[in-house]
Amino acid sequence: MKKLFAALASAPKRTAGLLTMLAAAVIVPSVLWAWGPERPTYTYAKPAPHVTFNSIVDNPSVGDERNFVRIREVANGTNFRDDVSLQAGKTYEVMVFYHNNAAANLNESGKGIAKDVTARVQMPGRLAAGETATITGFISASNATPQTVWDNARATTSDAVALRYVPGSAKIASSNGAVNGSALSSNLLTSGVKLGYNKLDGTLPGCNEYSGYITYRFVVDKPDFTLDKQVSVDGGKTWTESAKTTPGSTIQYRLIYKNTGTVQQDNVILKDELPAGVTYVPGSSQIANAKTGGVYKSTVDGITGSGGYKIGSFTPGSNNYFKFSAKVGANSTLAKCGDNKLTNKVIAYTENGSKSDTADVTVPKDCPPTPKYTCDSLTVKKLERTKFEFTTAYTVENATFKHVTYVVKNAAGTEVYRGQNRVFTTETVGTYTVEAFVTVTVNGTDKTVTSAKCKGTFEVTKKPVEPKPGVTITKKVNGEDRKTVAINQEFTYQLTVKNTGNVTLTNVKVTDAAPAGVQFISADKGVISNNAWSYTIPELKVGESINFAIKAKATKSNLTGIKNTACVDAPQVPGTPDDCDDATIVVPPTPVPGVKIDKKVDGVEHKKVTVNQEFTYQIVVRNTGTMDLKDVKVSDNAPAHVQFVSANAGTIADNKWNHVIPELKVGQSVSFAIKAKVTKEVEGVITNTACVDAPQVPGTPDDCDDATVEVPKTPTPPVDEDIKVCDLETKTIITIKKSEFDETKHTEDLSECAEAPTPEVPTELPTTGLSEGIMAFAGLGSLALSVTYYAISRRSLGNL
C-alpha cells in the first residue's frame, strides 16, 4: 500500500497539497479545485476533532486529500493523475481514496468512528467529439461533517466514444483491514456501495491506518464503419465511382461495408436506391463475407426494396461485399436530350447510426432538332383617337410559322376582339389590353405561344369638349355663415375656391379686405397687407378645390353684424371678379363683471341671542354682471366674543371662514351657512361683516355686508334685606329677613315693643364638657371666617 501511495505522490499534485499548513483548520475556496464542499482542513499532525473525510492537506502519501479521485491508462502503467486523454479501444482505471480524518484517540469513545460510510462514482456513458467527461467520486457518512465530500477527474476525447464499465473490476484495492481486495458491485456507479475496515458494513474508525482506496476500470469504445458504392459497365472487370454507358445497357453495382470501429455492429442493413430510368435485374444479387469464405454467392432479392437487405453482424475489422445487376432504360425513357447523369445511392443502417454513398452513370440521349418558337414583343401604335396598329416580333426555328392572333379586352376583362387583323378600331371610350398569340406547326401539329412581352395596353379617349372655364368661392366664419364672437376673441374665416369648369385655371387671384372693426391676424397662405389678404393660385385643375384660413379678431364691441366679403378672379373666366361670397360676425356688448354679497343671521338683519346659543349666519353671493366669474373668494372674520362652530362649505381657521367659488355664471347665486355662538355677555350690538372678491371685478373687496346680534343683559335678582320688626307675640324687637315678614306676627312699628336684651358674653368660655368645647371652637371658626370675608371684601373694593 505504501509503495502504491508513493507512486501516487509522485504524480502532479495541486498546489494546495504542497503547502505546509500551520493551522489545524484552514479554509481553501473549493472553486479553485474540482472538489467540494467548502470545508475546514486539517494537517497530518493535527487531525480533525470529529468525523470528517479527506480534509487533511499534507498527507505524506497522497498530499492534499481533497484531491482524492484520479485516473490513468492501464496498458502503459502511468501514474494516476487528474486528467487523461481518451483513445478508442483502450482501458482506463479510476482510483478513489478515502480517509476518516478523526483523531485516533476518539475511536475508543466511538466519537471518531464513521457510520454508514458509502462510496459512489458518477461517470457519463457517452462523450461527443471534443467533449470533456467529469468523473466524480463521492464519500459519505451519516455522522460526518460535512456528510458528503466529492472530487473529480477529467477525461477528454477528440472522437465520439462510449465509456463501458468493465464488469467485476470494482474492488477495495488497498486497505489494512480484512476488506482488502474485496470485490465491489457495479452499484458503485449507481446508488453507491458500503465501505469498512473489518467488513463492508459502513463502519470506519478514524486515523490514517484505516484509510484505503477503491479502483474500477472502463473501456473506451468507438463504433464506426465505412461504406463504398461502385459501378461497372464492363461486366465487373473494372469498378469506379462514375462511368459512361449507352441506353438499354446492363450495368453492375457493388456495395462494400467495413466495420472500422472497436465494437461489434449487429443487424447491419444495406438498402440501394436506384435512380429513375434504371431497374433492378431479378435474381442478380450476390454477397461475399466471412460466412461465404470470401467468395460471392447468390442471395435473395430485396436490396432495392423498401426494407433493404440485412447483411448480419460484424466484428471490428470485418467487411461485406454485395453486388447486383441493373438495366438502363431505352433512349426514349431518358429525361433529357444529351447526357443524363443517373446517381445510384446506397445506405447502411447500423445500431450506431447510418451512412450513405453514391455512384454515377452517365447515359447520352439522342434527340431530333428541337423546335423553337417564341413571342418576343408587341408594339401598339395609335393611328387616330379610335384607331390602333399592332406589331409583333417573334422567333420560329425548326417549325413553320402560321399566323399571329390578337385578343383585345376592355377594362372589365371582357373580350371585344379576336383576330389576325393588325389594325383595331373602336368608338367606345376606355382602357384596353391586347395580347399577341403566335401559332406555328411542329411535326404537323399546331402550337401556340405568347409571353409577358407580348402584352400591351392602349386607351380610347373621349372627344375633346368645348372649353368652359368656371370658378366659385365660398366663405364661412368658424364653419358657419354667421357667428357671434367676443371682442378681441380670435376666429377664423374659411375660404374655398373650386374650379367648376372643364379647363385648368392658372394665376387665380383670391382677395379678402377686412371690414371696419375687424383685424386680420394671420393666414395659412398668401399675404396680409393694410388689413387686406390676397393670394394667387398658380394652377387649379378641373374639379380641384383649395382651402384657405384667415385668423382675425373683432376690435369693437356691440356690433350687430359685420359682413366680410372674399372674391376670386381667374384670367380664363370672363368678368371681374368671377365670384364673391361673404360671412358675418356679431360682436355683443363688452361684458361687465359684477358681484354682490348679502348677509343675514337666522334670516334677519339683527337678532337677539343668549350666551352659547347657536345661531346661523346666512351668506348669499350673486353674479350681478354680464360675464361669468371665476375663483370668487368669500371671507368672513368672526367679531370679538363670537365663535364660528361649523360651515356648510369652505374652511374655518383661527375663527375666520374662507371659501373660493371656482365658477359663478351670470345671474347665478351661491348660498353659505355658518353656525356660530356668542361666548360672553357683552353690552351693545355685535356686528359681523362678510366680503366677496372676484379677480374679474376691479377693487378689493368687491362687496361686503353685515348682520348683527345682541345679547340682552341678565336682570339682577332682588336682595333679601334684614329688617327690624316688633314680634307681636313676644313684644320684642327682633331682626328678620324682609321675605319673612308676616303681618299677623310682625309690625314695623317698633314702638309697640321693647328692645330685646343683649345677652352677656362671658370673658372665658367654660371647659366643663365636650359639647361646650366644640361649640367654642365653632364660635372661633365663625369669627375667623368673618374676619377673612371682611379682608377679602376690602381688597375687592380696593380693586374697584
Amino acid identity at 615: F
CA-to-CA distance for 683 and 245, rounded, in angstroms?
A: 142
Which residues have C-beta within 8 Å of that of residue 106, sequence separation ≥ 6?
A: 49, 50, 112, 113, 206
Q: Tell whether the model's pLDDT for residue 407 goes beyond 60.
A: yes
Looking at residue 215, its pLDDT comes to 97
Q: How confident is the model at residue 607 (pLDDT cuts 50, 70, 90)?
A: very high
**Hey, how many other C-beta atoms are within 10 angstroms of the C-beta on 187?**
14
Q: State yes or no: pLDDT of 404 exceeds 90.
A: yes
Instruction: Average the pLDDT over each of 19-33, 142-156, 388-402, 648-662 and give the range with the smallest value.
Output: 19-33
What pLDDT, in 10s, does the model give residues 59-70? 999 999 999 999
Question: Mean pLDDT, to the nearest integer, of 609-636?
Answer: 95
pLDDT tens, 69-98?
Answer: 999 999 988 899 999 999 988 999 999 999
pLDDT-derived band of residue 381, with 50, 70 and 90 as boundaries? Answer: very high
Among 109-113, 126-130, 376-380, 566-570, whose mean pLDDT is lowest?
A: 126-130
Residue 16: per-residue pLDDT: 28
What is the model's pLDDT at position 465?
Answer: 78
Read off the C-alpha cell for 367. 434527340
Per-residue pLDDT averaged across 571-597, rounded? Answer: 92
Tell me the pTM. Answer: 0.40
Average pLDDT value over all residues in the chain: 89
Work out the average pLDDT over 263-286.
Answer: 95
Domains annotated for the chain, with CATH where assigned, are: 2-221 (no CATH), 225-365 (2.60.40.740), 372-460 (2.60.40.10), 471-587 (2.60.40.1530), 595-710 (2.60.40.1530), 722-755 (no CATH)
Q: What is the pLDDT of residue 424?
A: 97
* Residue pLDDT, tens place only, 316-375: 999 999 999 999 999 999 999 999 999 999 999 998 889 999 999 999 999 888 899 999
pLDDT at 800: 31
pLDDT at 745: 87
Q: What is the pLDDT of residues 730-773, one digit of tens each?
A: 889 999 988 888 888 889 888 888 665 555 544 444 443 433 44
> How far apart are the C-alpha atoms of 629 and 610, rounded to whole Å?
39
> Which residues contact residue 714 at a Cβ distance below 8 angstroms, ignoring those fewer than 6 apart?
681
| Per-residue cell: 277 | 430510368
- Whole-number pLDDT of residue 785: 37
- Residues 413-425: what's their mean pLDDT? 97
Give kind and range of the element (H or E) at residue 452: none
Amino acid at 484: T
pLDDT of residue 758: 52
Instruction: Inform me whether the pLDDT recorded for 654 exceeds 60.
Output: yes
Q: For residue 590, name the pLDDT band (cuts at 50, 70, 90).
A: confident
Report, as an integer, the average pLDDT of 543-548.
Answer: 97
pLDDT at 782 > cutoff 80: no
Looking at the chain, the whole-number percentage of residues with pLDDT higher than 90 is: 77
CA 242/CA 470 separation, integer angstroms = 86
Higher-confidence residue: 214 or 782? 214
Residue with the bigger pLDDT between 337 and 496: it is 496
Among 169-178, 472-481, 727-736, where is mean pLDDT lowest? 727-736
Which has the closest alpha carbon to 257: 225, 287, 232? 225
Nearest Cα neighbor of 408 from 443, 377, 385, 378 is 378
Q: What pLDDT is recorded for position 9?
A: 32
* Per-residue pLDDT at 12 exceeds 50: no
Cell 350681478 identifies what position?
Answer: 624
Q: What DSSP assignment string belongs to 749-768?
A: -GGGSEEPPPPPPPSS---S
Q: Read off the pLDDT of residues 783-798 as tens digits, 9 standing for 90 and up.
A: 333 333 333 333 333 3
Q: Which residue has the higher pLDDT, 258 or 626?
A: 258
Per-residue pLDDT tens over the stretch 135-156: 999 999 999 999 999 999 999 9
pLDDT at 466: 85
**Mean pLDDT to the nearest integer, 560-589:** 93
* One-letter identity of residue 300: V
Closest CA to 149 of 172, 120, 178, 183: 120
